[in-house]
Structure 1
Amino acid sequence: MSATTFGSLARFKAQFDLSNQEFSVSGSVRPQSIDELAPSLALLKESIERVRGVLYVNVRRLAQMNNIAFHAFSRVIIDTARARPDLRFVIVTSSVVGWTTRKFARLGHIEPNIIVEEYDTEFYPGQTFLEEGGFIPILRTQTKMTWRHERTILPRHGMRPGITMADICCGIGDFAVLVQKEFQPSRIVALDHSKSSLAYARRVAEEFDISGVEYTYGDASEMLLDDDQFDLVTCRHSLQIFDRPGLILKELYRICKPGGRVYITNEKNSHCLGEPRAESIQWTYSEVAKLFDHFDMDVELGPKSRRYLADAGFDDIRMECFMVTNLDGDPQDFADMITAWEEVYAGDMAVKRGDTAEFIERFRQGFRDHIFAALHPKGYAGWPIWVASGRKSR
């Protein structure tokens, strides 16, 4: 059930999902009078009558709400909480729209069976490793290595001059800048949930006088972006670090235009390889996959990309794989990338998991052997990437 309301200043939508016992409000709710809210308030009251135990009130995609609206919805919730002690309200907010947490938290101070939960506080368990900036050298070097391949691959997956594009989970923004220079889209929106990465991206853009990329803070699973607006949506090396990649793909599908494409890249880390010292290298990267799994991330996702895209509703799915190697330009670039991996994986992540000193030393040795293979005059070192894209049906 839903009620779409056109206020005098803005449009908003209220919906109720009985299967999840969830009432949601999205958009901009700025009525001039309470009468404009009548359909939505009636839906909220009907939702309350139809649930038992708990009603989730989802305001994750609520862009604006004036005091008239806030007090109207709050009055219904508070009055019900007092009249029905058997019913709990869980108000689900997002850090992306920080005012919702602050504003709705007041209700929890009034009635104890009104609880406010910030949905994305621990949205992806590896967030702390990203937020602390340890991934910045990894991201910079990885993009440098993969761009040599992707610049020729992207046109096969929908890239062309003049398109509108969104780069979701953009990290430090370097991919968006390379795309802008090479393909000149008419518009690029680059969105990420890491404030430190976005701050870095904006700082670099300013220092190097780069314009034309709109850097935006946002939750990839609940984006404040309109439906059907981008010709190409990219999401690189990111589904594998979310514990619920299907939610992200649902949002990528939503913001993509009918006939447009969503382009994703992911890894299968256990397939990293090197010679000489292959056995040590293979052991370490198999352990990398287990380490990420401990934090509910899947760096084995690459070959699963086709299934994920099909499950999300895409058609005309295209898939290919390329190998980043020490022979792609300067072998030191490859070695630098592995050095950055070692510091975060064998350092921060393994320590946080509680691994023993003996394990961490063996773990580190595999990275060092991979570096040895990359720099050996007769050596070979590789890192495989799976590329996939799907079309949104017209």
Structure 2
Amino acid sequence: MNTEARSPAFNYQFNENDQEFSLFGSFRPQKIDELADCINSLEASISNVTGNFYLNVKRLVRMNNVAFHAIAKRIVKTSGDRPDLKIHVTTSSVLGWSTRKFSTLAKIAPNITINEYDNEFYPGQSFLEDGGFIPILRTQTKLTWRHEKSILPRHGLKPGMHVADICCGIGDFAVLMQKEFQPGRLIALDHSKSSLNYARKVAEDFGVRGIEYVYGDASEMLLEDNQFDFVTCRHSLQVFDRPDLILKELYRICKPGGRVYITNEKNSHCLGEPRSETIQRTYNEVARLWDHFNMDIELGPKSRRYLLEAGFSDISIESFMVTNLDGNPQDFADIIQSWEDVYAGQMAVERGDSVEDIRILKQGFQDHIFAALHPKGYAGWPIWAASGQKPQ
């Protein structure tokens, strides 16, 4: 059972099944009386729980001292009146002030704990945030953009739209969209501060204006409902072990009638000639490697199912093959080398692969590079593009 209430500035919700009371938005009352309904609901919620009670402030954008003291007073009082009840406050690393404020409660009462949510279901982030990977990410975008700039209009992107690029990474795709489609508004959001810093620098260096860069968690975005005509999320669902949570947020921020556009891979379908057998063996193993870390680099063809299960309609899906013939073959080879460095490097080592297993894994990458650079060779990397409409 869920109960929810809203005001122009903030809203709150109690989920009886999870015994969780959540605060959203901006809590900045001038007088404590403005929070009366919220406080009453909080107290009623606490009276109906046993064992564990969760206060979720992950999406609490702002909170003044009037609101904090009102909420804190009730929580501390409860901790004293009910020492048997364990109170868990969930904050967000995106909003560091919330952790600092609410941590004071844990110092007052031993049965209050503070848990800072930090995107734990994004296991691949540490593998992909190395600064040395940035040139490769830009090369990947360069090779995919030649396909996507004609694909995007087929999925509904038009000039003047309000657009959000979620999990924007280093921001190069947002820059290309800004140049090509001139959206009326463009938000680019990512959980990596280093990536966003780089994105801002790229936009500044290229003289591109109009992109709003936002630091945020894709599963708990501090963006309002029904804002965007077109939402993109590229090569990202495959990195999360709960892609359904990301899609839920993409759905929420999309306007009714708007569309969400996603791209994902199926790495086991990477191909090359000559030396196709070792290439195939390596990419089959890459799929198992990602699965070990609760990621799904085979997600591409599953995109239609994920979009339908998230509530989207009018699904469009297509695939395209990035190849060594898309410009300079060395660019393609550089991408494959970067995959070898990460997959057959840190990831394989952390999985506990033997020296011989890593050697075999690396061989397939090297053979893929050989195929890409061979004067008569062919090498491919398949990507699935899909979009769905949020019902009116």
TM-score with structure 1 length normalisation?
0.97
After TM superposition, list the pairs within 5 Å mapping 1:305-384 onto structure 2.
305-384=303-382
Distance 1:23 1:126 in 2: 30
Distance 1:386 1:166 in 2: 20
**How far did 1:388 drift?**
0.4
Bigger mean CA deviation after superposition, 208-217 or 309-318 = 208-217
After TM superposition, list the pairs within 5 Å mapping 1:225-374 onto structure 2.
225-374=223-372
Distance 2:291 2:59 in 1: 29
3, 26, 29: which is aligned to 2:5?
3
Q: Structure 1's 121 and 318: CA in aligned 2 closer, same or farther, altered over 3 A?
A: closer
Distance 2:224 2:5 in 1: 18
Unmatched 5+ stretches in structure 1: none
- 1:177 equivalent in alignment to 2:175: yes
- Residue in 2 aligned with 1:44? 42
Distance 1:299 1:254 in 2: 25
- Residue in 2 aligned with 1:32? 30
SS at structure 1 position matched to 2:118: coil
CA RMSD of aligned residues (A): 1.1
Tell me, yes or no, if the aligned pair for 1:5 and 1:37 is still in contact at 8 Å.
no
Tell me, yes or no, if the aligned pair for 2:12 and 2:21 is still in contact at 8 Å.
yes
- Residue in 1 aligned with 2:156? 158
Tell me, yes or no, if the aligned pair for 2:172 and 2:202 is still in contact at 8 Å.
no
Q: What CA deviation, in whole Å up to 9, does each residue of 1:304-323 have, x standing for no partner?
A: 10010001100000000111
**How far did 1:137 drift?**
2.8
Q: What CA deviation, in whole Å up to 9, does each residue of 1:47-76 have, x standing for no partner?
A: 101111111111011011011111111111
After TM superposition, list the pairs within 5 Å mapping 1:80-119 onto structure 2.
80-119=78-117
Aligned residues: 390
SS at structure 2 position matched to 1:324: strand
Moved >4 Å (runs of 4+): none
Distance 2:192 2:383 in 1: 23
SS at structure 1 position matched to 2:94: helix
Write the letter of the residue equivalent to 2:111: N
- Residue in 2 aligned with 1:390? 388
Write the letter of the residue equivalent to 1:169: C
Distance 2:99 2:191 in 1: 17
Unmatched 5+ stretches in structure 2: none
Distance 1:348 1:216 in 2: 29
Tell me, yes or no, if the aligned pair for 1:325 and 1:334 is still in contact at 8 Å.
yes
Tell me, yes or no, if the aligned pair for 1:173 and 1:201 is still in contact at 8 Å.
yes
- Residue in 1 aligned with 2:143? 145
Tell me, yes or no, if the aligned pair for 1:5 and 1:36 is still in contact at 8 Å.
no
After TM superposition, list the pairs within 5 Å mapping 1:65-80 onto structure 2.
65-80=63-78
Distance 2:164 2:345 in 1: 33
Distance 1:61 1:123 in 2: 17
**How far did 1:113 drift?**
1.2
Write the letter of the residue equivalent to 2:238: Q
